[in-house]
A and B are shown apart, each in its own frame.
Chain A
Amino acid sequence: MSTNAKPKFAMYWAASCGGCEIAVLNIGEKILDVDANFEVAFWPVAMDAKYKDVEAMPDKSILLTLFNGGMRNKENEEIAHLLRRKSQILVAFGSCATEGCIPGLANFSNLDDIFKAAYDSVSTVNPDHIRPVPNFEMPEGVIHIPEMNPILKTLDQVVDVDYYMPGCPPESHQIAAVIDLVIQVIHGEATLPPKGATIGAGISTVCDDCPRTRNVKTIKEFKRIQLMSQIDDKLCLLEQGIPCNGPATRQGCGALCPQAGAQCIGCYGPAEGVVDYGSRLIAAFASVIDSNDPDEIDRILDGIPDPAGQFYRFSLAGSLLRSGKTAWDK
């Protein structure tokens, strides 16, 4: 990889699963455009620059950094600050960085319970209830692992973010479009959207992209998808009582899951202008319940056995409350 005058590109993963990296690589031949227009300066999954090399770079010398993964521990936060200093444009890439995503569900618990589930599990033999600690004295010296924070945070709860790219992961065709835009900007053929914008997605909801037929919804019962003997594959899933999050979820994926017969689980985050995803979904579900009688409504709501998970599955860390009470109040 030669050093030349091409602008620098970086991609980093904090507490993530690697799906965002795969989504970028799934742009296929378009990765050659990245190669042609950027110098990949730091991408731990793919090449060998290390933290020391990033530290040595001048501030703001990286043009574009795609940062995915949530802020779970001290190291995640350190690298977020490091890359913010070194980057001109920092994009919160993917659901973990924008709103917390699935690892954010840990915010319903506290670290004690998380450690207990991991280190006292049914298959674990741990009679002394050993827990990992940040600094441990070995005969040869003290060795370290990062300390975990009490709750997982989003990228913009730690550093200033320029753009948000939602999705778990962001779909490859959207990534390709954003890369095209940035290349055009480099060549002076386009301008960037205003700072703080959400890119790589639409402004309305998944329902707009979903080909299923929609009528006025009047729900008498919420169903568990596996217990339904007949599912109409042309009709809106929510209308059939399956808790589909489409009405509150931002469009951009092309409504892939409803087209595959599965309910939308909300991985693209809130639509434009919505501050708290879960609240929007609560309002939507409440609106379609077909009853005005409190007892009957309660009975219908029993069909959603895990409301907090249903409504904040991907967005808990980025929501107004950010966590459950047990995360900080044992």
Chain B
Amino acid sequence: MQRITIDPITRLEGHGKIEIFLNEEGDVANTYFQIPELRGFERFCVGRPVEEMPLLVNRICGVCPEAHHMAAAKAADAVYKVDPPPTAKKLRELLYSGFYFTDHTTHFYALGGPDFVMGPDAPVAERNILGVIHKVGLEIGGKVIQARKNGHRVVEIIGGRKVHPCTSIPGGLTKGITEEQRKEIEEIGKWGIDFAHFSLKLFNDLVLGNKTYLDLILGDIYTHHTYSMGMVDENNKVNFYDGKVSIVDPEGTRIGKYAPSEYTDWIAEHVEPWTYLKFPYLKKVGWKGFVDGKDSGVYFATPLSRLNASDGMATPLAQEEYDKFYKTLGGKPVHQRLTTHWARLIELLYAAERIVELATDPEITSPNFHTVPTQTPTEGVGIVEAPRGTLTHHYKTDERGILTEVNLIVGTTNNYAPISMSVKKAAQSLIKKGTVVNEGLLNMVEMAFRLYDPCFGCATHSLPGQMPLQVTIRDSNGNPIEVLKQFC
């Protein structure tokens, strides 16, 4: 059987590779998306004091350390059964909103956006952030740098550092913010709302206004009908920092809304021997393999699924965009996965609005940012929404608060089965007998993967935002007949 190996795939945390097998007819028989890495956090965090977890788990991912930091902080609170004071929770959510702002900006402009702004068939050399800038103007590049800087500034003010924040401890934070810092953050939020509107308009003009792209987005190649997952607040509005996890079926019916401590009733993980990463699935439905549908336990966890799993956005401007989104796409839930890029921008707007909301909260500069835990530590679960999926941290400790067991279900992990399915479907739809495999085709296979914003969003502004791909086409004797590469 002919084999096409794509190795390495870049721009996800760690490394990944894809194997595509072609049958005699030249159609895709199967694809395997393998993760070749394991570092062992669930083992080596055992024996560490629980207050170190927000610091240790930062190092799971240096692009989204804030997500792990917050999940760990909440899990550590739960271990001690301590409720941080309102100011601490608001400050943490404010930091988190700043982080979301940076992260979603990065993905849209450097990774996903170029596919649309330039087009999937655009020349390889232009299909990156540089091409975007040439097309829409140098001003935008400067805005993107500014957006990233601003988001990281919020993280730095509240979290102590830009990368790997250090201020969350069980019961709250190690510091508060001054009035001067509060003002700076408020200005960043207001600037952010304009920037988010600008980004949405860009998407509307360049993408939705272009029939070819619209057809691609609404078409079948990148569509899957699975369960959607996302965290919501008590009004069932999207919330990144706190709430319960809502799950809706492929028709949009909510089948559950679970609190962090209940996660093992809902989520289980499946192991395959050909990859280091596990495949989470809905326990009550069961693992039926890499298939769509209501009877398959596969679910996805992305900005799109968060919108599907909620009843709306908690801030007014984002809610307007949410209504427009579903009206345009013909109702809830939406299954065309490329619309995730749009959903991501709606979340960008929400993040900016939330920054302003929290920065103008009267309690935000209060010096009451920590409650001393009084209970004996035992066990706790903390869940947040990472930009690329629901993030679960589960800790068990001894009576001193030293960890005895750690279980993590990380954002992108939720999407491992859907990504595998999306890549396979795209490959099968695009590679058939007689197909000329060119760069445009390669990129379209990439797009199936890239829309999930797999864990590592590359924050770049002057370097191309495509994934390196090499496809080696071999004849039946295994001799290479054509090697296609794409890079800048």
Contact = CB atoms under 8 A, between A and B. Distances in A.
Query: When A and B assemble into the complex, do they touch directly, with CB atoms less than 8 Å apart?
Result: yes
Contacts of A138: 21, 30, 32, 274
Contacts of B21: 138, 140-141
9 contacts: A45-B11, A46-B465, A47-B463, A103-B44, A106-B39, A109-B43, A123-B407, A260-B160, A260-B167
A179 B37 CA distance: 30
Contacts of B254: none
A32 interface: yes
Contacts of A146: 36-37
B225 interface: no
Contacts, number: 287
A306 interface: yes
Contacts of A203: none
A75 B409 contact: no
A124 B173 CA distance: 33
Interface in B446-478: 456, 458-470
Contact of A17 (B11, B13, B80): B13
Contacts of A145: 34-36, 274-276
Contacts of A103: 39-40, 44, 59
A172 B162 contact: yes
Interface in A300-324: 305-306, 308-309, 313
B44 A21 contact: no
Contacts of A190: none
A118 B1 CA distance: 33
Contact of A21 (B62, B148, B174): B62
Contacts of B270: 124-126
Contact of A22 (B160, B407, B459): B459
A299 interface: no
Given A26-B162, A50-B485, A145-B276, A226 B80 contact: yes
A123 B263 contact: yes
Interface residues of B, number: 106
A190 B388 CA distance: 44
A328 interface: no
Interface string B339-380: 000000000000000000000000000000010110000000
A263 to B, nearest CB: 9
Given A32-B462, A143-B19, 10 more contacts: A19-B58, A40-B463, A47-B464, A48-B486, A48-B487, A132-B274, A141-B3, A226-B80, A229-B372, A309-B52
A17 to B, nearest CB: 4
A5 interface: no
Contact of A43 (B44, B463, B486): B463
A48 B468 contact: yes
B161 interface: yes
A108 B274 contact: no
Contact of B273 (A45, A114, A131, A227): A131
